[in-house]
Amino acid sequence: TQQTLVLIKPDGVKRNLIGEIISRLEAKGYVVADLKKFTPTKDLLHKHYAEHEGKPFFEPLVEFMSSGDVVAIKLEGHRVIEGFRSLAGATDPTVALPGTIRGDLGRDWGLKVQQNLVHGSDSEESAARELALWF
């Protein structure tokens, strides 16, 4: 079985959506193998988002992600990397389909596309790299 890194971002934690989001993962059949809640350092976030370094949204994203607690989840299950991204929906909550976490719960805060509630690793390589960083 596969493992992936899921992050509930500061907007999800501030809006008290931890339970709602984890319920959706468990209802799908995935298992929470490990979990922690803390405010990540900018150093950790720079490493986590290394692929986006230099993009215009990089610094605002790091600022936002370090603005409060996040919940880091080691999520386990058959094809969970692809499956979680399907549950999460499109990056932009405005166009994320109903039925997805971002589509049902995400809000459009103007330019702040980074406030899209969750993160999920996008490949086996990313999952291994990110899980080693966060756990």
- Residue 71 region, left (φ>0) first, then alpha (ψ -120 to 50), else beta? beta
85 is in an annotated binding site: yes
Q: Which amino acid, residue 25? A: L
Active site (annotated) includes residue 46 = no
Q: Which helix (H) or strand (E) holds 101?
A: helix 101-105
Among the listed residues 5, 93, 120, 131, the single contact to ligand GTP using CB under 6 A: 120
Q: Segment 90-109, which members bind ligand GTP (CB under 6 A)?
A: 91
**Contacts with Mg ion in 65-124 (CB under 5 A)?**
122
Exposure letters 33-56 (e unless 16+ CB within 10 A, then b): eeeeeeebeeebbebbbeeeeeee
Residue number, 60 or 99, with CB nearest to ligand GTP: 60
**Residues annotated in the binding site for ATP, as ranges?**
9, 57, 85, 91, 102, 116
Interacting residue ranges for ligand GTP, rule: CB under 6 A? 57, 60-61, 91, 111-114, 116, 119-120, 122
